[in-house]
Structure 1
Amino acid sequence: MKKILLLFIIFFNLLYSAEVKELPWPRGETFLTFLDKYAIPNSLYFNLEKEDKELCSEISADAKYYLYEEDDGSLNQVLIPVSEDIQLHIYKDVDNTYKFKTLPINYEEITQSIALPITTSIAYDLKKATGSPMLAAQLKSIYDNTVNFRRMQKGDFIVIKYKQKVLMGRAHSMPEILASMVEVSGKKYYRFKNSKDDKYYDEKAKAFTKTYFFKVPLTYKRISSHFTKKRWHPVLKRYRAHLGTDFAAPRGRKIYAAGDGYVEFIGRRGGYGKTIIINHRNGYKTLYAHQNAFRKGIKRRQSVKKGDHIGYVGNTGLSSGPHLHLGLYKNGRAVNAMNVIRKADTKALKGKSKNTFIANAQIVIKDFDLILKDENREKPIKLDRTTYKTKLTI
């Protein structure tokens, strides 16, 4: 850990009074084309371990990255986020060779409660108060057609308690709503997130979150590599991550869609080789990598059903042997597919779980009632919006 902290100190000392560019990752750019752009040997990439090569395939178009160039235009160093928690660090060492590391993203997490009277609309009022265009979308998805927001009148209230990751004073990733109250035409509707199953319930513990079942997309021999969000390796003395689950299986074994949706991407994707991405239309996407071949006739924008044959196990891209790398993403965030696949459906809480949940919900409702009083209403922290053309001076 001391080495990691020292690295950051050195990084910022080197850049003191230097211009660090904050840029969007260009569409169509790959890790290898980025290396070529700065005349960095491709061996930097090909010498990486399998998990690190796969992380290089997780770079998303338009994601912010931070670049510091020398006066002659060559690369000094760059930080490229690949998830909420991990970023890639390429830097020029003292011997003028380039090195690669994976580093944690040191974000701050804030939790706040806000109460807003409706003046125009939920989307407009929330964005104006918090600077977040995503909070209203999250709120509406929680109520999911059970509340008619169009009936809201001027003077109705919304109260939200939510968590937000913050990086350099800006929202980092999607907000997470913990509890909310929406008043429509004088009637109050509550939703509370249950940390035990990540579903939303009302004050009586009735469930309102739809359950989306996914199936394991193939018959496999074993899981050869599990999902790892961020892990400090005590032997290698560095951070490692693996944003998917690897299923070892013979080459040519059939791969099936894990759930209903449509094919958003089909083709080659960096170190993932032949890859299919399915959009499930509910905030979830699944990624199927290292395929030997795609099912004949399958194409982009094609609708698929859970269990439909989509491809065959292989080891295309950078792979040490035939397997399927399954990635699962919820609202753009990599999550452990096995947790979702194995999650049981819940219609309503019962017994002790129900009683505990209702008691905790009543505590939050009392807090909301206090916030609604003018003299106690909390002012939300308004985070800066991301501006891709910003140039930071450190």
Structure 2
Amino acid sequence: MKKIILSIIIFLSFLHSAEVKELSWPKGESFLTFLEKYSIPQKLYFDLEKEDKELCSEIVANRRFYLYTEDDGTFNQVLIPVSEDIQIHIYQQSNGKYKFQTLPINYKEYTESIAIPITKSVSYDIKKATGDVTLAIQLQSLFKGSVDFRKMRKGDFIALKYTKKSLLGRRLGLPEIDAAMVEVRGKKYYRIKNKKDDKYYNEKAKGFTKTYFFRIPLTYKRISSKFTRKRWHPVLKRYRAHLGTDFAAPRGRKIYAAANGTVEFKGRKGGYGNTIIINHHNGYKTLYAHQNGFKKGLRRGQKVKKGQHIGYVGTTGLSSGPHLHLGLYKNGNAIDPMKVIKRPKTNGLKGQRKVTFIANAKKIINQFEDEITNGNKTKVIKLDRIAYKSDLKKI
């Protein structure tokens, strides 16, 4: 396979006198208005395939992007991230024509382990040790109902193993906790992520991740297009992405809210056509695209309940047939709706899955214990730091 351009640094090496600008996507600007601003024919957009048109609708206000212009200010090329994994690349070819393609983002990923003694508070000490207060928020969510963090005091302890991403030295997305230990007055509590199902368990494989409260928002015939974060297309010889799930259904069929929340957006949204976005106020948002129309009286800012009628299936925007495109976003990043909606409710692992998990958990716990026991419990202990680039898989 011919190697693709993975790094912005590599792009820069092809530019001669071009100026590179890191910009913030303006509020209210669409992909089409961006093309018009830089005198790029809008035919470039209208000739795209459906999935690529939808990706253009994933561009959100304030997202950082990279614009390359010549000395006279004319357009050379642009890189626009649409998720943590994929970005849009537009450039002018030697024949003067413009080319659209999608490329994986070549981020760096770090796995860090750290032990933190409590001196003031969980939030203060985690931020001081890692520079990231969001880890404290995640930690408190993981142990909700088991640990009262307000009662933690000097002498208590926390150990974390977490993964974070960076792009050009800047944080990309939010860190994810892989394992955590909280020691309160000598009693230890554990939460360890099982990569097989993306849920958290204690050291005995008892489950602690709550089942999410989303429902499939309509009665559908079939799933016409699945969520794909980053997929190599063997025929087109490039990466593709589809940041949602498409449910084929007759035009006019009712669409319902997948969960309680507030209508954040109602209107036209580029290739998505008539779209509703609901903010669920827990880091999650859902997007309902290509609607034929909205329920009469529904307005922006309105609170809705799970199962409440919000719209109708249609083909507005750029759609090949009547369907609902359902997008699900966690902290601003697109995730697979079906993995959340269909996540089974379990109280713990069983059989060989349980045996394997406990064996892997013991390794992590032993690392925590050895370093904390042998180290100085009054100072932050960095256990390890592993860095590697994003893993590009062909599917």
TM-score normalized with structure 1 length: 0.90
1:378 to 367, 371, 382: 382
Partner in structure 1 of residue 324 of structure 2: 324
* Counterpart residue type for residue 331 of structure 1: N
Question: Could you tell me how far apart the structure 2 residues matched to 1:356 and 1:370 are?
Answer: 22
Partner in structure 1 of residue 77 of structure 2: 77
After superposition, the C-alpha distances for 1:194-251 in whole angstroms (9 at most, x for unaligned) are: 2222221222322222111432211222222111111111111111111111112221
Identify if the C-alpha distance between structure 1 residues 24 and 9 changes in structure 2 by more than 3 Å, giving closer, same or farther: closer
Partner in structure 2 of residue 334 of structure 1: 334
Partner in structure 1 of residue 392 of structure 2: none
Name the SS for the 2:285 alignment partner.
strand
Partner in structure 1 of residue 163 of structure 2: 163
| Unpaired segments ≥5 residues, structure 2 | 388-395
Question: Could you tell me how far apart the structure 2 residues matched to 1:5 and 1:335 are?
Answer: 25
Aligned residues: 383
Question: Could you tell me how far apart the structure 1 residues matched to 2:243 and 2:199 are?
Answer: 23
Question: Could you tell me how far apart the structure 1 residues matched to 2:363 and 2:190 are?
Answer: 13
Partner in structure 2 of residue 89 of structure 1: 89
Question: Could you tell me how far apart the structure 1 residues matched to 2:212 and 2:152 are?
Answer: 29
Partner in structure 2 of residue 59 of structure 1: 59
Question: Could you tell me how far apart the structure 1 residues matched to 2:6 and 2:304 are?
Answer: 50
Partner in structure 2 of residue 101 of structure 1: 101
CA apart distance, 1:326: 0.8
Aligned-residue RMSD, C-alpha: 2.4
Q: Percent identity?
A: 68
Instruction: Pick which of 75-84 and 341-350 moved more.
Output: 341-350
Matches within 5 A, 1:349-388: 349-372=349-372, 373-374=374-375, 377-378=381-382
Partner in structure 1 of residue 211 of structure 2: 211
Name the SS for the 2:150 alignment partner.
helix
CA apart distance, 1:264: 2.1
CA apart distance, 1:16: 6.3
| Unpaired segments ≥5 residues, structure 1 | 384-394
Question: Could you tell me how far apart the structure 2 residues matched to 1:10 and 1:189 are?
Answer: 46
After superposition, the C-alpha distances for 1:62-95 in whole angstroms (9 at most, x for unaligned) are: 2211111112222211111001110000112212
Name the SS for the 2:13 alignment partner.
helix
Kindly indicate whether residue 143 of structure 2 is the aligned counterpart of residue 143 of structure 1: yes
| Contact 1:151–1:185, Cα closer than 8 Å, also in 2 | no
TM-score normalized with structure 2 length: 0.90
Name the SS for the 1:129 alignment partner.
helix
* Counterpart residue type for residue 68 of structure 1: Y
Identify if the C-alpha distance between structure 1 residues 280 and 209 changes in structure 2 by more than 3 Å, giving closer, same or farther: same
Matches within 5 A, 1:110-125: 110-125=110-125
* Counterpart residue type for residue 284 of structure 2: Y
Identify if the C-alpha distance between structure 1 residues 92 and 128 changes in structure 2 by more than 3 Å, giving closer, same or farther: farther
Name the SS for the 2:132 alignment partner.
coil
Identify if the C-alpha distance between structure 1 residues 108 and 8 changes in structure 2 by more than 3 Å, giving closer, same or farther: closer
After superposition, the C-alpha distances for 1:137-172 in whole angstroms (9 at most, x for unaligned) are: 222221234321111212322110111222223322
